[in-house]
Amino acid sequence: MVVHITLNGRDLAVDGAPTILELARAQGAHVPTLCDYDGHANGVCRLCMVETDGGGRAAAACTTRVRDGMTIRTDTPHLQGLRRGLVSLLLQEQGPHNGSHPGDLERLRRLSLLD
């Protein structure tokens, strides 16, 4: 089944029902992730939040499947602020050396979410 969606202003016809993250990656749109290891996200970190349906809703790209008529934006000032806030909370809760996965801090640095 083909669904028609808009991703960052581009109209696309998509075969099947990929997740927003899978579609974004296939289209070259960067969506930051933290709990996505080897293509298996567990939907916990929420860093992959994107705006859907005109910006009125936010959805986790790794666990939300595209649907016909969906409008998706992967990078907006609102999303950037949301992601920075989430990273700050994650670091406050776990700390970079307090039980978190050893690669998490490095992944955050690569995402340019840390100074």
Indicate the residue among 5 and 31 with the shorter CB distance to ligand FES. 31
Indicate whether 64 belongs to the interface with ligand FES (CB under 6 A): no
Q: Which two structure tokens, joined as six digits, stand for 33?
A: 């992730």
* Region binding ligand FES by CB under 6 A among candidate stretches 8-16, 22-30, 37-45, 99-107: 37-45
Q: Least Å distance between CB 57 and ligand FES? A: 15
Q: Which two structure tokens, joined as six digits, stand for 90?
A: 């994650």
How many helical (H) and strand (E) elements, i.e. helices and strands, does the chain have?
Answer: 3, 7
Helices (DSSP H) in 14-76: which residue ranges?
Answer: 20-26
Indicate whether 79 belongs to the interface with ligand FES (CB under 6 A): no
* Rounded Cα–Cα distance for residues 78 and 105 (Å): 23
Q: Left if phi > 0, otherwise alpha if psi is -120 to 50, otherwise beta: which for 29?
A: beta
Q: Least Å distance between CB 60 and ligand FES? A: 5
Indicate the residue among 35 and 58 with the shorter CB distance to ligand FES. 35
- N- to C-terminal Cα distance for the chain? 44
- Among residues 44, 57, 68, 84, the one that binds ligand FES under rule CB under 6 A: 44
What residue ranges bind ligand FES (CB under 6 A)? Answer: 33-36, 41, 43-48, 60, 62
